[in-house]
Structure 1
Amino acid sequence: MNDQTFFSLLKHADEPFVGWDFSFITRTGRMTSGLLSWSYGSMALSLIQDATSMLDMGTGGGEFLSKLGPFPPSAYATEGYLPNVPVAKERLTPLGVTVVQVDDEALPFATGQFDLVINQHESFSAQEVRRVISEGGKFLTQQVGGLDCNGINEKLSAPINAEYLDWDLKNAEKEIKENGFKVLKSAEEFPIQRFYDIGALVYYLKAIPWQAPGFDMNQYKDELYAIHKMIEREGYFEVKQHRFFILAEAL
């Protein structure tokens, strides 16, 4: 295997990943995602403007939340990945958002503290979310389903993370309803995600290690090279994402 372009692209995937920001490969068009029939951002923005107290679960580096202000007088964000916490604090504190580190799905807040909880791609305990939301409060979540991008695993001949395979709209709605919520709106879709060079794919896999647990470039070098040649022939490597959203009201 003496393909300098291939090895150069792999080396380019060593760029550090900070916060929860894929712009290194999205703003350059190296990875793109298909459109959904809803906008989590638009729904969240509207709800934030009507809230008096809010929580953003799993804020990453605060990149997304920072664009949805102004925020209510009481605004909090949680983050479980320690390196993201100072990044989020630096970005969100000047905007009036208090960032709190969490270690699990338990939420360090008072019962009924918030009238809005938003959650983009973060795990949650429906029981805990209901506890911290006041009666009539709203919970908006967009989730990555258990079938997300499994085409990557298939091409790599890598094990699929079976822990999340059953995580879909039906099961999430069931859990939410069983914990004191009424579902107001929901939808589930499978948009396309495309990678236009092998370096973008490797960068993505290194940023989300749960997609292919234990991923190592040397272990999968032959499979990565096969995908690289496919991209050279067809222009891209395409897989299906798995997304769903739920807007619920606390009873």
Structure 2
Amino acid sequence: MTATSRTFEDLVAEAEAASVDGWDFSWFEGRATEQRPSWGYARAMGERLARASAALDIQTGGGEVLDSAPKLPPLTAATEGWPPNVAKATALLHPRGAVVVASPEDAPLPFADAAFDLVTSRHPVRTYWDEIARVLRPGGTYFSQQIGPASVFELVEYFLGPQPDDSKNARHPDRARAAAEAAGLDVVDLRAERLRVEFYDIGAVVHFLRKVIWMVPGFTVDPYRPTLRALHEQIEAKGPFVAHSTRFLIEARKPEA
């Protein structure tokens, strides 16, 4: 039985029961698609890790992206703030010699000044530029793929209604450039793309909103059940719900002493 031939209640119940630990998105296979940025972050990150001697991955999630690198530096550390992800990342990365440190996202990085020649982060909730600049060695690099402005806001506004411009532009790449430069870093690359996203059934929507918790803050099914049912009926009648994600790539370098 395909997802689209199942009832609203079955699809929602399945999505509510699914684990949302880590950053493994294989659950969405056949149920949602997202166009990928042209720059290939994981590949480019892996190339930089292979040349580094000491690297830090911030907000590593379950460690899946860092683990995708073919070669890790002799000294590799990762931070993560959510306990289930800390355990998952530890199990995945310790066999490769990487240390996972439980650290709240809004706390100072628990490392000495100038400890790393490479700092990476894929989709950080927030970037603490002063801390990144502090732990980078002179000549070191921060390399990150980030969520851009108004990402998947077609879905956000379906549930929350029209959002203010400040909310839509909170993750604008121009703001990231200004913050990096204010922290004393030189931005050497900054690229942005708008990418098509399709949700093929309401279960995919529920799983997405449970996993990407900042989209509809505090999301649970019960308060939104009428809205979810209406969206289910729309998908059944008209086909996939289409939204657009935005991503930007930023690379910033700490000047030589």
Q: Which of 90, 114, 119 is 1:112 aligned to?
A: 114
Aligned: 1:32 with 2:33: yes
Q: Secondary structure at the match of 1:191?
A: strand
Structural mapping, 1:215-230, within 5 Å: 215-230=219-234
RMSD: 1.8
Aligned-pair CA distance for 1:70:
1.6
Quote the residue 1:77 is aligned against. 78
- Name the stretch that deviates more: 185-194 or 113-122: 185-194
Q: Which of 125, 129, 135 is 1:126 aligned to?
A: 129
Which one-letter code corresponds to 1:126 in the other structure?
Answer: W
Which one-letter code corresponds to 2:148 in the other structure?
Answer: G
Quote the residue 2:7 is aligned against. 5
> Are the equivalent residues in 2 in contact too, given 1:160–1:211 (CA < 8 A)?
no
Identity of aligned residues (%): 35
| 2-structure distance, mates of 1:4, 1:39 | 35
Which one-letter code corresponds to 2:147 in the other structure?
Answer: V
Quote the residue 2:207 is aligned against. 203
Paired positions, count? 247
Aligned: 1:178 with 2:179: no
Q: Which of 229, 244, 250 is 1:246 aligned to?
A: 250
Quote the residue 1:167 is aligned against. 171
TM-score, normalised by the number of residues in structure 1:
0.92
> Are the equivalent residues in 1 in contact too, given 2:159–2:216 (CA < 8 A)?
no
- Name the stretch that deviates more: 49-58 or 147-156: 147-156
Decide whether aligned partners of structure 1 residues 70 and 97 sit closer, same or farther in structure 2, where only a CA change above 3 A counts: same
Which one-letter code corresponds to 2:185 in the other structure?
Answer: F
| 1-structure distance, mates of 2:238, 2:80 | 39
Q: Secondary structure at the match of 2:83?
A: coil
Aligned-pair CA distance for 1:5:
1.0
| 2-structure distance, mates of 1:62, 1:214 | 24
In structure 2, stretches of 5+ residues that fail to align are none
| Shift >3 Å, 4+ stretches | 157-165
- Name the stretch that deviates more: 215-224 or 198-207: 215-224
> Are the equivalent residues in 2 in contact too, given 1:145–1:164 (CA < 8 A)?
no
Quote the residue 2:241 is aligned against. 237
In structure 1, stretches of 5+ residues that fail to align are none
| 1-structure distance, mates of 2:36, 2:54 | 30
- Name the stretch that deviates more: 155-164 or 127-136: 155-164
Aligned-pair CA distance for 1:100:
0.5
> Are the equivalent residues in 1 in contact too, given 2:42–2:68 (CA < 8 A)?
no
TM-score, normalised by the number of residues in structure 2:
0.90
Quote the residue 1:150 is aligned against. 153
